[in-house]
Structure formats: structure tokens, C-alpha cells
Amino acid sequence: IRTGNIRIGLSPVTGVSVLTFILAKFHALYPSLSLIFIEDGSLQLQKQLEEGLIDFAIMHLWKRFARHA
């Protein structure tokens, strides 16, 4: 993908710590891609992933979902 939107779900703590390291590099590599961030709790992000509302999520994996990984 070189153009378009990527919808990223973030849990408040996990997302910030990960994104600070990769955003500048990502934008340099893919300037025509728009990143749309949705901040929510991990359980809500899991539901949004299942429903196709977000493309991927950066979050804690709760033990309840670990068996699906």
C-alpha cells in the first residue's frame, strides 16, 4: 500500500510508548499514507478488530484472548 488510510487502534499506555519510535520513520517511507489513530481500551479495540473497524491495534493482549494468538 502506498496511498490511502490505515486505521490503527491504540491502548493509551502501549500506543504512546511504541509510536514515538516509529512515526517519523514511517512518514518518511510512506508520505502518501494517512494514519488514523483510535484510542480505546484493549477489550474495545479487540471488538473493533473483529468488526473490521480498525486495520490493526497496538495493545496489551489480555489472558482471555491469548489462546487465540
pLDDT tens, the chain, 69 aa long: 678 999 988 887 766 667 777 888 888 899 999 989 999 988 899 899 999 999 988 887 666 555 555
Predicted structure pTM score: 0.70
CA angle 49-54-57, nearest 5°?
70
Angle, CA 40 vertex, CA 35 and CA 42 arms, to 5°: 110
